[in-house]
Amino acid sequence: MSAPNALRQYQQQAVLSASPEILIDKLYGIGVSAAHAGDASRTQRVLVELMSALDRERGGEIAERLLGLYEFSIRAASRGDLEVVAEILEGLRDAWRDAMRAPVAIAA
C-alpha cells in the first residue's frame, strides 16, 4: 500500500471511530481553516454539516441560536465575508471545547 493510501485509510478510520463530540470539534476546525483559506464553498458545506448535527428537539434554545448563527454564517460566506465566519466558528469551537472539558452535573 502506498503512503498516501495508508494515510487516507488511517484518516478514514479515525473519523469512523471518533465520538460525536470529536467530530463536531473537527468540523469546527475544518470550517475555520476553510474560511481562512478563502474557500467559501467548503466553509458552507461545513456549516451545513453542523446544522444537520443539531438536535433541535433536545437542544432547545441553544440549538435554535446555533442554527441562527450557522444560517447567518452561510449567508456571510456566500457574500465572501469569510473573516467574519472564521471569527464566529473560532468562538464556537472554543466554547465547544470548554463545554466538553466541563464536568457534567448530575441532577439529584
Measure the CA dihedral 53/59/62/64, to 10°.
Answer: 70
- What is the reported pTM? 0.82
**What are the 10-residue block averages of pLDDT along the chain, 108 residues in total?**
73 72 94 98 98 93 96 98 98 95 68
pLDDT value at position 67? 97
pLDDT value at position 5? 80
Nearest C-alpha neighbor of 51 from the set 38, 41, 65: 65
Compute the C-alpha angle 59/55/79, nearest 5°: 100
Q: Are 79 and 40 in contact (CB under 8 A)?
A: no
Query: Which domains, ranges and CATH numbers included, belong to the chain?
Result: 19-96 (1.20.120.340)
